[in-house]
Structure 1
Amino acid sequence: MFYCAYYFLLRKETFFNSNRWFLLFGLITSVILPLIVYTKVVWVNPASLSDLTFSQTNLIETASNTPFTINWFYLILFAYGIGFISLLIKFAIDFYSLNSVLKGKKIYQQADFKFIDTNENIAPFSYFEYIVYNSSMYTASELENIIEHEKIHSDQNHTVDVLISRAFCMLFWFNPIIWLYRKAIIQNLEFIADKEAAKKLEDKKAYQYTLLKITTHENCVAITNHFFQSLIKKRIVMLNKNQSKKRNSWKYYAVIPALAAFVLLFQIEVIAKEKQQTVKEVSGEIKSVDVYKIKKNSTDANLNEIKEKLKKLHNVDFEVSEIKRNSNSDLTSLKVNIKNGKQTAQSIQTGENSPIKDFAVIVTTNKDDSKSVGIQTYDEIKNSKTDGEPKVAISKKLQTKTETNGSNNSNVSAKTNTNTNTNTSTTVIVNSDNDTKVITTTKGSTASFSNGTKVSINETDKLIVVDGKEMPSGFDYNDINSKDIKSVNVYTGTNAVAKYGEKGANGVIEIETRK
């Protein structure tokens, strides 16, 4: 933006000194401004219940082999490093060449200037207080013009501008604008020196002839202000141009709206924060839901933080063990035990080098302030990513409530299937106040234990009843929009047969919609 403002508005004006500071200010602003970020917090509604699985179970998932991917960040960083180091070496060579010209030469001190009359065939130049020239190549009047020009460079410390622009070219070599910007800086410095030198010389035309003569000397020393410049025509044009009118100085302020637009477009970081999730009209029981994510790259500190929050906010005990990580510090083995009063939940994931599947601990607070806990995995197959985070999704789009008869409790144990080539997981929810314990497998079948009796349910053969109406065979309840579901009841075994007869032998799913 600064370069565009200079090129289109200022380069033809004779405000050379102002242009110098404008260009330098542009470099500094271009580095600092992107580091200033304003934060804007946006409160968003939390994910609806349809985005979460509350079925107090967890699916057994098999981790696929991680495909080979190219790390573009390191590749780009490597390319940048090559360019930067190459330019840094070039700068060191130029500095060495300059030092060889200055070292061991006889110096003539005059006021704050140090003159070196060399025998080398090089164009005149200045470097800080040093002014170097070959007197044998010029007449007395030409040499006077050259020295007066270089004094302006030295007196106004133009070498600083040259070095700053060179440093920016090394750091941001990949940006073509920086090379044009450096050219504009150096060219403007020559305009300044030409203008000030012409004021002190009696013959302005002779000075211009000197400029033309020096164009034949192309052997210049880098990182210096040298008298020779390839854009001699522009220098002569600017030297003879009338002074710009002061009212044209408004052009310097034209960049301010552009900077403001830059900040508004790129420097405001929007942070979305979820409101406390309050669940309404879900079986008339749930008040709020809290989700605590456990990812493959979760650190020990993250796990401890979850433990502290669960205990402090919900009085839920959270323990992790059998932690193993691979070379990338990703979790490959993890055992999680959760206890909420008499209710316990367990998740075990084991593997050799494959990272675990991301999952979450769900704490549901009912209207009577009682709490229940559950564990769920991320549905990585059916759901895309949003803002770099997996979208926690419900695979059945249902909240299930299992009802059984009987009063005696039976014990349920979970055996974890371990495979060294892949990552497997098993989750068991046990509620000692409920006769029914549920284990869900990848095939979708459910084993329901009631008073020690095991009943197998084939999910595809379940009778589905929507708003009191029995659905035909093959009906897919996933076609119902989860937002339209008010409540869901699942009946199995004797309960289903008692209510629906033989049609309910394989289980019944009752769905009540908001319609």
Structure 2
Amino acid sequence: MEALFIFIVKSSGLIALFYFAYFFLLRKETFFNSSRWFLLAGLITSIVLPFVVYTKVVWIDPVPVSVDYAPAVNYHYIPNYHPQIAEEESFEINWNLVSLGIYALGFAAFMIKFGIDFYSLNSVLKGKKVEQQADFKFVDVEENIAPFSYFDYIVYNSSMYSESELESILEHEKVHSDQHHTVDVIISRIFCILFWFNPIIWLYKKAILQNLEFIADNEAAKKISDKKAYQYTLLKITTHETCVAITNHFYQSLIKKRIVMLNKNQSKKWNYWKYYAIIPALGAFVLLFQIKTIAQEKKELKEKTKKAALASIIQDGEVYKITKSTTDQELKDLTAKLKSEHNVDLEISNVKRNRDNELIAIKIEVVKERGKVQVIEMNSTKALKDCSIVIDKDEEGTKSVSLVTDDQIDHPVVIQNRDIAVINFDSDANPEDRSSPVPPAPPAAPIAPVFPTGPMPPAPVIDMSKMPKPPVAPASPKDKAAWAKFEKDMAEFEKKMEAFEPDLSAYEKQIEDIMSQREAIFEKQMEKYEIAMEKFNFDMDKFNQDVQIKYGRDSKEYERSIKQYENDMRQHQLDMKQHEKDMKQFEKDMKQREKDLKKWEKENNKKS
């Protein structure tokens, strides 16, 4: 979104740059064709140049590493870990989306207007007689419209002009058609749609149309013997009922300027320098906005900085380095030396090596001063990076033990996906608890609710033996007395039938109430289920981060947690599909019940 806004701002700035260069330097010059290409080049440049980015690499000295070094990974394991639920953020207006919506509305409105103009043009040309002459198609219409050209079509109303006036008009429109000025008109219109919010683009479009008229007037005047007659034609044609959009009109609201430019002396050639005045401005634009600087540290100084940083960390202490090629015997000697020289209890276990006999996993348990126990684990499928056990003393003589890895010297503050875990315990903790910590159990995925079911009330049963019998109609249609009695009997029969028939509406209402209650219960259960799924996803992310920090991406525990999460998500998808299936079955059952009720009612009517 931000990149789009930056592009629009840069393009709008370039459009303004070219327009003001034309307005202040080129507007009064008679280099009309050159000005045409200058204005078109400005539009193309405003679209292309923002995408041209020059990358500049700057070599800098490495940033000195601070002496106040903190271990890159300091993970404190908490057995009873309960992730917090993220609080819902308060509502805020996204002004980027609002701006994009306003832009889209304006863009759509001008696109519709563009389509309407094309439709109007097609209505003018549709069904008209076309006369082909050379490369032009002449269309003589009866409507009172301004003469115009559209590609190779030249449209005019011959009854409105004399023969000499019509000759001037046609020569003018031939220039428009022959030099494909319609392309310029359409391009300027498209840019007005894209940058409709920028007032400069509308002035830019006016400048393009005005310059096209200057070109056509200049070329047409060369082919007409009587130049003054041509100017009188411009003065005579001042009003028209209709002007068709996206075309080159013979008449424009700049007659005075056109006549002035027709009588103006040709500009001197040395004035061409004005076209090149835009180049320094474009260069400044590139230097200010289109250069991306990338800083890289010098490798040699970087290595020296690493060594200096390590030296500053060590100070007056001692360093015992463990590399990927350190042997088991060297590890045993290291344990004995730390005990004898520094009274540091060091226990090394879980040593694993690859085929090249390189260390890929190790666990170091250190009993530190003041009864603190530190367990350091490194686990990977690849050879471990070099690390050092640093024993340092502060001003009071208190010893401290810490682990330093080479990549920590490069990035002493950044914590990345490193296969190292540091866990601190109290000295009185159970030794079994100081083994590799068991990762917390992954959160259980919630179970999707099932649509409530249960027995439905039975449909009412009719006792056919107690049903009243309908009266028999008289045999003779002329017996009025008999027919009057029959109508009276029918009225009584219908009254008895109304009292006898079951109340179907009450039964249907009973069914609807039961189903609506079940549907409301199910919707509440689904809302709770969706909230539980959001919490589950949040808890699962926390769990994955927990396992990843302790064991690394390459560990089996991490792979197991990822597989468990994928299985839970697949089950969630299956539950949602089953939910959709249950809802479809519910709708199907309701339709079937309606059909059964209608069938039951129809059969009772037949029996009666």
Alignment TM class, shorter chain as reference: 0.5 to 0.7
C-alpha deviation, 1:205, in angstroms? 2.1
Which of residues 20, 24, 31 is equivalent to 1:8? 24
1:411 aligns with 2:433: yes
User: Counterpart of 1:215 in 2: which secondary structure?
Assistant: coil
1:90 aligns with 2:113: yes
Structure number with the bigger relative contact order (C-alpha 8 A, sep ≥ 6) is 1
Distance of 1:11 and 1:53 partners within structure 2: 67
C-alpha deviation, 1:19, in angstroms? 0.5
Amino acid at match of 1:24: L
User: Counterpart of 1:411 in 2: which secondary structure?
Assistant: helix
Instruction: Map residues 215-254 of structure 1 onto 2, 5 A cutoff.
Output: 215-217=238-240, 219-254=242-277
Q: Specify the alignment match of 2:198 in structure 1.
A: 175
Instruction: Map residues 36-75 of structure 1 onto 2, 5 A cutoff.
Output: 36-43=52-59, 45-46=62-63, 48-49=65-66, 53-54=70-71, 56-58=73-75, 65-67=87-89, 68-75=91-98
Instruction: Map residues 358-377 of structure 1 onto 2, 5 A cutoff.
Output: 365-366=387-388
Distance of 1:86 and 1:189 partners within structure 2: 27
Distance 1:257 1:415, change over 3 A: same
Which of residues 279, 291, 301 is equivalent to 1:268? 291
Structure 2 unpaired stretches of 5+: 1-16, 322-353, 365-375, 380-384, 391-401, 416-421, 444-534, 552-608
Q: Specify the alignment match of 2:50 in structure 1.
A: 34
Q: Is the 8 A contact 2:389 2:403 kept in 1?
A: no
Distance of 2:18 and 2:197 partners within structure 1: 18
Distance 1:411 1:111, change over 3 A: same
Structure 1 unpaired stretches of 5+: 289-310, 318-338, 347-362, 377-390, 394-399, 432-515
Q: Specify the alignment match of 1:328 in structure 2.
A: none
Distance 1:134 1:41, change over 3 A: same
Distance of 2:44 and 2:319 partners within structure 1: 56
Q: Is the 8 A contact 1:57 1:428 kept in 2?
A: no
Q: Is the 8 A contact 1:16 1:188 kept in 2?
A: yes
Distance of 2:19 and 2:424 partners within structure 1: 70
Distance of 1:143 and 1:316 partners within structure 2: 96
1:194 aligns with 2:194: no
Q: Specify the alignment match of 2:187 in structure 1.
A: 164
Q: Specify the alignment match of 1:111 in structure 2.
A: 134
C-alpha deviation, 1:51, in angstroms? 9.1
Measured against aligned partners, the alpha-carbon deviations of 1:450-485 in whole angstroms (never above 9, x if no partner) come to xxxxxxxxxxxxxxxxxxxxxxxxxxxxxxxxxxxx
Distance of 2:548 and 2:194 partners within structure 1: 56
Measured against aligned partners, the alpha-carbon deviations of 1:299-318 in whole angstroms (never above 9, x if no partner) come to xxxxxxxxxxxx9xxx997x
Distance of 1:220 and 1:404 partners within structure 2: 91
Amino acid at match of 2:149: S
Moved over 6 A (4+): 285-288, 373-376, 400-406, 421-431
User: Counterpart of 1:191 in 2: which secondary structure?
Assistant: helix
User: Counterpart of 1:143 in 2: which secondary structure?
Assistant: helix
Q: Specify the alignment match of 2:125 in structure 1.
A: 102
Amino acid at match of 1:145: S
C-alpha deviation, 1:134, in angstroms? 0.7
C-alpha deviation, 1:109, in angstroms? 1.6
Instruction: Map residues 134-153 of structure 1 onto 2, 5 A cutoff.
Output: 134-153=157-176
User: Counterpart of 2:145 in 1: which secondary structure?
Assistant: coil
Distance 1:340 1:222, change over 3 A: farther
Amino acid at match of 2:134: A
C-alpha deviation, 1:375, in angstroms? 13
Instruction: Map residues 480-499 of structure 1 onto 2, 5 A cutoff.
Output: none
C-alpha deviation, 1:71, in angstroms? 3.5
Distance of 1:129 and 1:99 partners within structure 2: 14
Distance of 2:93 and 2:42 partners within structure 1: 36
Q: Specify the alignment match of 1:482 in structure 2.
A: none
C-alpha deviation, 1:48, in angstroms? 4.0
Distance 1:39 1:375, change over 3 A: closer
Distance 1:269 1:203, change over 3 A: same
Measured against aligned partners, the alpha-carbon deviations of 1:159-207 in whole angstroms (never above 9, x if no partner) come to 1111111112222223222221111111100000011111112222222
C-alpha deviation, 1:417, in angstroms? 11
Task: Indicate the RMSD between aligned Cα atoms, in angstroms.
Answer: 4.2
Distance 1:340 1:153, change over 3 A: farther
Greater Rg by CA: 2
Q: Is the 8 A contact 2:363 2:378 kept in 1?
A: no
Structure number having the greater strand percentage? 1
1:344 aligns with 2:377: yes
Amino acid at match of 1:19: S
C-alpha deviation, 1:52, in angstroms? 7.3
Q: Is the 8 A contact 1:36 1:267 kept in 2?
A: yes
Distance 1:110 1:340, change over 3 A: farther
Q: Specify the alignment match of 2:373 in structure 1.
A: none
Q: Specify the alignment match of 1:295 in structure 2.
A: none
User: Counterpart of 2:50 in 1: which secondary structure?
Assistant: helix
Tell me the TM-score normalized by structure 1. Answer: 0.58
Tell me the TM-score normalized by structure 2. Answer: 0.50
Distance of 1:101 and 1:403 partners within structure 2: 90
Equivalent residues, number: 348
Distance 1:158 1:316, change over 3 A: farther
Distance of 2:171 and 2:320 partners within structure 1: 84
Q: Is the 8 A contact 1:117 1:133 kept in 2?
A: yes
User: Counterpart of 1:166 in 2: which secondary structure?
Assistant: helix
Amino acid at match of 1:87: F
Measured against aligned partners, the alpha-carbon deviations of 1:374-412 in whole angstroms (never above 9, x if no partner) come to 999xxxxxxxxxxxxxx969xxxxxx9999999x96633
C-alpha deviation, 1:90, in angstroms? 1.1
Distance 1:98 1:287, change over 3 A: farther
User: Counterpart of 1:149 in 2: which secondary structure?
Assistant: helix
Distance of 2:297 and 2:87 partners within structure 1: 34
C-alpha deviation, 1:259, in angstroms? 0.9
Amino acid at match of 1:411: D
Distance of 2:148 and 2:266 partners within structure 1: 27
1:24 aligns with 2:40: yes
Structure number having the greater helix percentage? 2
User: Counterpart of 2:144 in 1: which secondary structure?
Assistant: coil
